Structure 1
Amino acid sequence: MANDEKRSWSSHLSFIRTKRAVFTLTLLVIISAVLIALGATHVLRPKTYPSDDDQQPSSGDQQPSGDDQQPSDINITANGIMTAPGNWRPKNSSSIANGTPLRIMSLGASLVRGEFSTGDVGFRKTMRDELVNLGVPVNMVGSQRFGEMLDNDLEAYGGNRISQIHEHATHIVPQLQPNLFLIHVGSNNVLQNRDVDEAGAHMEDFINYLLNASTRATVIFSTCLTNTVPDCEPKILDVNEQYRNIIKKFDSKPVLLAEMHPSEGFPDRPQAIDIGPDGTHPTDYGYDLMGHIFTESIQEADRKGYLRWPVENGLEKDGDAGRAEETTTTQELPPSISTSTNTSSTHAATAIEINR
């Protein structure tokens, strides 16, 4: 009898263990299936954002060579804004929506000055008005003032090639510390047939200087406009291709390339019909298109988290502040080798260099 009872208890325990094993196995299968499903929908993918310490590249960081990256690696938006690959964000990045003031330095030659446009404002007023309408505090800065608009500071000199505007920038950028550079330069390299083959290398050096001299800055440079001067357009296309190649070298740096030339098929680029009689400077409509493109580029920089609060150095957040009573002018003043501060608005405002 005792043996029969033992066998009965043993049979019960064996059955219970079997049920537990089946239940446990079933539960494990269900959990595994759920985990696999979540992983497939990216819910459980770990974040791979680098820490702040990893985000800021040192000046000695090695960048991939042009041979190591293919054109397909470039991120290109529908509006023709090009950046190097990756989701990198700099330290202390902010956004237009959070009210980050933009201290903008426009660099280049007569196209940046807006020569031959109504009021000599070119693309700058269109772009500035669009940013202000987005609620952005804007201060255009530079050692020059040009154009019939209040906030008309810039760093642009007629006839300048890339290396020349680079040299001018070294005298003013460390003092003003812009947090946004807009560059449109290179047409004079073509028109003067100087350093055309070196345009990309010169632009790369220029951008690296700006990033090192103003460490909270974002750089937006653009391809050259189409040109109707005889025999110039092939060289313009060459320079633009050099620019598109160097953007690949600025991975993990706040640099964007704005496409201004219609050859890439992006909409609303200045066409030959939008270029004036001299073959180089656009009409008012062409300048407006340039302004829209730069605004879109700035918005793209915002989406990428590139924009950072400018260095506090006494400059106004709003470049129109203190200038309401001033009379704007396009007249060029005598050249000056020093930079002064405009006491009414704490703008840097040295005299405009005579065109060359």
Structure 2
Amino acid sequence: MRKRLRWLVAAAAAVVAAGTVLPGTAVAESNGGVRVMPLGDSITEGTQVPGGYRIGLWQRVTAGGYQVDFVGSQSNGPATLGDHDHEGHPGWRIDQLDANIVSWLRATTPHTVLLHIGTNDVLQNYDVARAPARLSGLIDHITATAPDAEVFVAQIIPIANAGQDATARTFNAAIPGIVQSNQNAGKHVHLVDMHSAITTTDLVDGVHPTAAGYDKMAATWFTALKAVPGSIGTPGQSAARQIVGAQSGRCADVPGSANGTAVQLQDCAGATWTPTGKQLTAFGSKCLDASGQGTADGTPVIIWDCGGQANQQWTVNADGTITGVQSGRCLDATGQGTASGTKLILWTCNGQANQKWALRAAS
């Protein structure tokens, strides 16, 4: 078992050193909900069970009527995981997350952070005596960059090797004090006892949970989140959103529900849009659509019966743009127009304000 664990750690470290992005680039599956960043190593990524605890957490959150948007630069997991974005990096230690955390937070602006990190510090025997200090420094960088964020810090799950688990327990014992110190300073930091959530019988390879083990982690995260008001929003809150132009202050609207109706700017009192996967739907079954599956500059944006085609799929980006999956072009107010009736089209992304939008909860 030790030989296998050493091989897994070495392989993951080699990939990280080579600069390979694991396991895939995020696809920004925003549903307009509370932005939650799952942050950590392979246990967050879901090694052995792609998606890991995020599958069960997503299912619990949505079944509970909450609206959340998982965020991060990575993406993986099955179809049963409705939002695949995360910040889980196999083989990474605390210091490696810390080296990147500020840029990740600035790119995704999460309201809630789920932090489970330290396992690889133990497995790699990487200056474990100072691991709590490194964790404290990482939390400091998170709270300084996102001072209003709710930060949930987990004590790491068990490790099958008894010696390594003893080291993990020593590391875990320091975490309540770190969390309390942050709370005393008025920071939104919360302790999650993840070590007690599962046992070594829930591990598939001595390090990573089985599907059942990951689901136990999901239940523990969900209980912790529900205990902090606002960390995942309000249950039953509508998913409907207005798409508001940054330049015009007006909303993407349609004057009727017929197929082919042009999407245009109007005062924000009309149609709302419900993010469903990568589709934006209005009137229950009509999708935001690039007319005729067009991909060229100037292609009209309309509504049409939802069919799942790529011209009806959109990416809501952290920079405020909304891009067509098929075309790669931006949702654009024609001619930088701001008046009511200005038609929306596809256009090459250029960073101008008429291509910037905000998804705002419908009033």
Tell me the TM-score range normalised by the shorter chain. 0.5 to 0.7
- The alpha-carbon deviation at position 306 of structure 1 amounts to 6.1
**Could you give the per-residue CA deviations for residues 41-79 of structure 1, whole angstroms, max 9, x where no partner exists?**
xxxxxxxxxxxxxxxxxxxxxxxxxxxxxxxxxxxxxxx
Partner of 2:129: 197
Partner of 1:239: 171
User: Are 1:250 and 2:164 an aligned pair?
Assistant: no
For the structure 1 residues 273 and 174, does the alpha-carbon distance in structure 2 shift closer, same or farther, using more than 3 Å as the test?
same
- The alpha-carbon deviation at position 215 of structure 1 amounts to 3.0
Q: Look up the SS of the partner of 2:218 in the other structure.
A: helix
Among 330, 343, 348, the residue aligned to 2:323: 343
CA distance in 1, matches of 2:309, 2:72: 18
- The alpha-carbon deviation at position 317 of structure 1 amounts to 8.9
Q: Look up the SS of the partner of 1:257 in the other structure.
A: strand
CA distance in 2, matches of 1:142, 1:344: 20
Aligned-pair identity (%): 27
Partner of 2:209: 282
For the structure 1 residues 217 and 159, does the alpha-carbon distance in structure 2 shift closer, same or farther, using more than 3 Å as the test?
same
Q: Look up the SS of the partner of 2:279 in the other structure.
A: coil
- The alpha-carbon deviation at position 260 of structure 1 amounts to 1.1
- The alpha-carbon deviation at position 320 of structure 1 amounts to 2.7
Partner of 1:297: 224
Name the amino acid aligned to 2:227.
E
Name the amino acid aligned to 2:54.
R
- The alpha-carbon deviation at position 342 of structure 1 amounts to 7.3
- Which of 1 and 2 has greater Rg? 1
Partner of 2:119: 187
**Could you give the per-residue CA deviations for residues 170-204 of structure 1, whole angstroms, max 9, x where no partner exists?**
22211211000001111000000003112221111
CA distance in 2, matches of 1:102, 1:233: 34
User: Are 1:135 and 2:71 an aligned pair?
Assistant: no
Q: Normalized against structure 2, the TM-score is what?
A: 0.55
How many aligned positions are there? 222
CA distance in 1, matches of 2:77, 2:309: 13
- The alpha-carbon deviation at position 321 of structure 1 amounts to 4.0
Does the CA contact (< 8 Å) of 2:101 and 2:141 recur in 1? no
**Could you give the per-residue CA deviations for residues 205-244 of structure 1, whole angstroms, max 9, x where no partner exists?**
1112112212331000101111113521110101101112
CA distance in 1, matches of 2:322, 2:161: 40
Name the amino acid aligned to 2:37.
M
Q: Look up the SS of the partner of 1:250 in the other structure.
A: helix
Q: Look up the SS of the partner of 2:134 in the other structure.
A: helix
Partner of 2:193: 259
Q: Look up the SS of the partner of 1:170 in the other structure.
A: helix
Q: Look up the SS of the partner of 1:175 in the other structure.
A: helix
Among 201, 217, 221, the residue aligned to 1:273: 201
CA distance in 1, matches of 2:113, 2:202: 25
CA distance in 2, matches of 1:279, 1:237: 15
Does the CA contact (< 8 Å) of 2:94 and 2:117 recur in 1? yes
Does the CA contact (< 8 Å) of 2:68 and 2:233 recur in 1? no
Partner of 2:36: 104
Q: Look up the SS of the partner of 1:147 in the other structure.
A: coil
Among 85, 101, 105, the residue aligned to 1:153: 85
Q: Look up the SS of the partner of 1:198 in the other structure.
A: helix
CA distance in 1, matches of 2:232, 2:86: 20
CA distance in 1, matches of 2:173, 2:244: 38
Q: Give the stretch that moved more between structures: 226-235 or 102-111.
A: 226-235
Partner of 1:320: 277
Greater RCO, CA 8 A, separation 6+? 1
Does the CA contact (< 8 Å) of 1:179 and 1:308 recur in 2? no
Among 153, 159, 162, the residue aligned to 1:221: 153
Q: Which runs of 5+ in 2 are unaligned?
A: 1-31, 235-242, 246-272, 281-306, 311-318, 329-363
Does the CA contact (< 8 Å) of 2:68 and 2:232 recur in 1? no
Q: Look up the SS of the partner of 1:258 in the other structure.
A: strand
Q: Look up the SS of the partner of 1:231 in the other structure.
A: helix
Name the amino acid aligned to 2:86.
L
Q: Look up the SS of the partner of 2:35 in the other structure.
A: strand
CA distance in 1, matches of 2:146, 2:40: 18
Please identify runs of 4+ aligned residues in structure 1 that moved more than 2 A: 305-309, 316-327, 339-346
Name the amino acid aligned to 1:343.
T
Q: Which runs of 5+ in 1 are unaligned?
A: 1-99, 263-268, 328-338, 347-356
Structure with the larger helix share: 1
For the structure 1 residues 128 and 194, does the alpha-carbon distance in structure 2 shift closer, same or farther, using more than 3 Å as the test?
same
CA distance in 2, matches of 1:258, 1:326: 41
User: Are 1:121 and 2:51 an aligned pair?
Assistant: yes
